[in-house]
Each structure stands twice: as C-alpha cells, then as structure tokens.
C-alpha cells in the first residue's frame, strides 16, 4: 500500500438539532472574539446562538455572506478588508461550500503575513492562528472536513485551489435540519457534486483502501437518497443520508482528491459561470466512459455501490452504473448536454486549454488525458 495522510476535524457533530450544541463547543468557551460568516438565508437560524454567545460576554461579529455563485479573489479580498479590524480568535462558517471555503481562508489569513495570491496551490499556507468551525447547509462540497478551498481567479477565468492542512476545521457540525430549505435544483446539483467526489476518489490512480471505505459508502448513501431529497426536501432521513454521504466525499478530497471530471469543469465555472455541481453532473458520465477501460473492475464496483445487481462482465456492469448515474441526473431535472446550457463548439479548445492547466487533478486520473481527449469529451456532450 502507498503511504497516505488522512486529516479531519478533531470534532464532528452529526444529527438533527446539532446546531443547538454549537455555543457549548469547547473552542468557543476559550474564544473571546468570534466571527460568524453566514449565508443570507441562514442569518435567522444563528440568532439564538449569537444571543447565547453574547450572554457569555463573547464579542461576536455576525457577517452576512451576500455573494452569489462561486467566490472570486476580489470578493474574498473584500471580505478580508471589511473585517480587517476585528481580529477574531475563532471563525465560524455557516453555509454552502463557497461560504465555508471563504471562512476557512479568512481563519488562515487573518493576522498572516501572506495574502491569498501567495497561497494558491498545494502547501503554501504557513499556519493558522484562529480556530475554525464549519457548518454546511448543502450536501455537496464536503468542505467542512477537507483541506481544500476553491476560488475563482478573474485573471485566468479558472478556479484556483488552495490546499493545506491548515484549512482543515477544528470542529464541524452537520445538522440536516439546515439543509431542508435547499431548493430542489441546488439539492440535485450539489448532490451530484458529492457523488462525483466519491466516484473520482474510488476510481483514482491513487485510490487507497483507507479512503475506499468512505467513497463506496458515500456513493451508496447519495445514490439511494438524492432523488428522495430532490422530490421532498422535508424528508429528514434522506437529508441526513445526503449530508453524511457528502461528508464522506469531503474526507476523500484531502488524501486522494478528484480527477478529470473536476478538471474539465474548471473552465465551465470560470469562463461561463456554470454552477460547479451542474458542470460535474453533465461531464461525469462521459468521463467515466472514457476512463472505464483503464480499470473495469473498479468501475464495476462503483456500479455495485450505485445499486446495480446484474452479474456479468465488469465492463457491462460498469456501463450499467454509468447509465444509472445518467438516469438519476435526468430524474432530478439536470440537463444532459453542454449545448443545453449555452456552450457551443467554438469554445471547446479554450475550455480544453483551461482544463489542461489543472495538473494537480489531471495527474490523478486513471487514464491519461490529452488536450484532444478533452476536446473530444466536450464534443460528445454538445
């Protein structure tokens, strides 16, 4: 077995109503200045927590995260500038992946000599003084347990990853109640994103038995519950399963990470501002067909986790699994073609050029991908 490092929060609190335990977290007991970065729809949900913390003589700054879509470098730097004077000793992020990623970076870069532009890539952060707590409100990115943060670099029209052990939260709270109000469309897109994390980790060139367990369980939980959560957002059992599956996907990101599905999605998000989960949902089946010959057994095992019970050749089982993903995506109202979201053939070379620069993910793919391969995958989806 290859050597591997799995980092995760020191405390993971899971279950209905777990948000109510936040004010009792030992980290907050020893923190005097607390910054909460909260997505707009969740501001009221944090009112009681803020009240409790202030009753304990804590200096609490409640910051509303108002940005729409994936955060840009400029937006993050605006957040830093607006909160420069507060200097919290604990940062709490409450929201989707964008909110959590910004909270993680704020915690790391407050009182730090380095700026955002200095830490893009793997391992460039030099530490983190503030404590960090993350509370996801979508079942998608798994950012609450991962060492990753992704922002849009306006200069390159591509997303940039900041990967560091210092971005792993100290605590995270997974309360499925916070996800019930997520609209059906976002439920579907973020759910497929979480599924892609698990599948790409399991079929990855650097897949590892320590992570395989999380990946397979995540695939199972998400595939069994995504449509239920999409059709009935109040289904707390489905929401709980989705949130747990998403967390498993997040645990896969640090030690193994994703591959070409995500690399090919970078230009779609950066240049055309297509939602990350939607990009992955459209791309994943075709990428899996491309990758299947590299390891039919692994892809067949993914199909088994998706619920395929047919016996036969690995190649055929794997193909049924890919069809299962497509069927789930269609049932959740997700477009199946790039042309349906406004992408035309003339931009494919540029998209491929952007993708080929994402070497930190390309190197993980079980099959080598050339620029022409990338263009061909895009073409099949027009």
DSSP string, 163-204: E-GGGS-SEEEE-GGGGTTS-HHHHHHHHHHHHHHHHHHHSS
Domain assignment present for residue 3? The answer is no
pLDDT digits (tens, 9 = 90+) for 32-66: 999 999 999 999 999 999 999 999 999 999 999 99
In a domain, residue 2? The reply is: no
Is 158 a residue whose pLDDT tops 80? no
Same domain, 105 and 198: no
| Number of other residues whose CB lies within 10 A of the CB of residue 227 | 17
Which phi and psi (to 5°) does residue 160 adopt?
-115, 135
For residue 148, what are the contacts with CB-CB under 8 A and spacing of at least 6? Answer: 101, 161, 162, 163, 167, 253, 254, 257
Mean pLDDT within 283-305? 98
Do 80 and 215 reside in the same domain of the chain?
no
Average pLDDT, the chain: 96
Say if residue 159's pLDDT is above 90: no
The answer to the question of residue 75 being in a domain is yes
| pLDDT score, position 181 | 93
pLDDT band at 69 (very low <50, low <70, confident <90, very high): confident
195 shares its domain with 114: no
Q: Tell me what pLDDT residue 314 has.
A: 98
pLDDT at 68: 85
Co-location of 193 and 235 in the same domain = yes
Residue numbers of the domain that contains 276: 184-380
pLDDT for residue 116: 95
At 81 the pLDDT is: 94
71-123 per-position pLDDT tens digit = 999 999 999 999 988 999 999 999 999 999 999 999 999 989 999 999 999 99
Q: What percent of the chain is predicted at pLDDT more than 90?
A: 94
- In a domain, residue 363? The reply is yes
Question: Does one domain contain both 219 and 367?
Answer: yes
Q: Please indicate, yes or no, whether residues 245 and 129 belong to a single structural domain of this protein.
A: no
Domain assignment present for 345:
yes
**Residues 160 and 196 occupy one common structural domain:** no
Do 162 and 244 reside in the same domain of the chain? no
State which of 128, 149, 179 marks the end of a domain. 179
Judgement on whether residues 230 and 374 belong to the same structural domain of the protein: yes
Domain boundary pick from 120, 146, 179: 179
In contact, 140 and 190? CB cutoff 8 Å: yes
Among 179, 195, 214, the domain boundary falls at: 179
CATH of the domain at 132: 3.40.50.1970
Q: Are 46 and 141 in contact (CB under 8 A)?
A: no
Do the beta carbons of residue 141 and residue 205 sit within 8 Å?
no
Q: Please write the tens of the pLDDT for every residue from 183-234.
A: 999 999 999 999 999 999 999 999 999 999 999 999 999 999 999 999 999 9
- What's the pLDDT band for 139 if we cut at 50, 70, 90? very high
- 46 within some domain: yes
In a domain, 77, yes or no: yes
- 145, 211: one domain: no
User: Is residue 218 a part of any domain in this protein?
Assistant: yes
Using the predicted structure, report yes or no on whether residue 156 has a pLDDT greater than 90: no
pLDDT score at 220: 98
The count of structural domains within the chain is: 2
Are 370 and 295 members of one domain? yes
- What is residue 271's predicted lDDT score, i.e. its pLDDT? 87
Query: What distances in angstroms separate CA 74 from CA 71, 93, 123, 155, 232, one per listed residue?
Result: 8, 19, 22, 10, 37
Both 255 and 352 in one domain: the answer is: yes
Joined together, the tokens standing for residue 382 give 């027009």
CATH of the domain at 375: 1.20.1090.10
323 pLDDT above the threshold of 80: yes
Q: What is the pLDDT of residue 295?
A: 97
pLDDT of residue 5: 93
């Amino acid at each position: 077995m290859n050597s591997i490092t799995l980092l995760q929060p020191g405390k993971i609190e899971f279950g209905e109503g777990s948000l109510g335990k936040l004010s009792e977290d030992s980290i907050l007991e020893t923190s005097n200045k607390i910054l909460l970065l909260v997505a707009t729809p969740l501001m009221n949900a944090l009112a009681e927590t803020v009240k409790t913390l202030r009753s304990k003589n804590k200096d609490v700054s409640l910051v509303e995260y108002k940005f729409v879509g994936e955060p840009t470098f400029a937006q993050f730097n605006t957040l830093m500038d607006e909160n420069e004077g507060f200097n919290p000793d604990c940062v709490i992020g409450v929201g989707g992946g964008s909110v959590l990623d910004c909270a993680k970076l704020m915690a790391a870069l407050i009182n730090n000599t380095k700026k955002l532009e200095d830490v893009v890539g793997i391992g460039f952060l030099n530490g983190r003084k503030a404590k960090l707590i993350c509370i996801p409100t979508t079942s998608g990115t798994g950012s609450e347990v991962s060492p990753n943060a992704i922002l849009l670099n306006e200069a390159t029209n591509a997303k940039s990853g900041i990967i560091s052990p210092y971005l792993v939260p100290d605590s995270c709270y997974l309360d499925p109640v916070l996800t019930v109000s997520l609209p059906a469309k976002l439920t579907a897109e973020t759910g497929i994103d979480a599924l892609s994390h698990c599948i790409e980790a399991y079929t990855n060139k650097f897949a590892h038995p320590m992570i395989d367990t999380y990946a397979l369980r995540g695939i199972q939980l998400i595939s069994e519950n995504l449509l239920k959560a999409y059709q009935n957002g109040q289904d707390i059992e489905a929401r709980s399963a989705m949130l747990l599956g998403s967390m498993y996907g997040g645990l896969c990101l640090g030690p193994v990470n994703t591959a070409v599905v995500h690399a090919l999605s970078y230009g779609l998000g950066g240049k055309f501002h297509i939602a990350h989960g939607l990009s992955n949902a459209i791309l994943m089946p075709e990428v899996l067909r491309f990758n299947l010959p590299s390891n039919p057994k692994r892809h067949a095992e993914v199909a088994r986790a998706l619920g395929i019970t047919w016996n036969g050749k690995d190649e055929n089982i794997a193909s049924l699994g890919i069809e299962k993903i497509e069927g789930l995506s269609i049932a959740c109202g997700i477009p199946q073609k790039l042309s349906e979201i406004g992408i035309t053939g003339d931009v494919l070379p540029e998209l491929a050029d952007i993708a080929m620069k994402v070497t930190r993910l390309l190197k993980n793919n079980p099959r080598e991908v050339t620029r022409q391969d990338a263009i061909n995958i895009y073409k099949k989806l027009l």
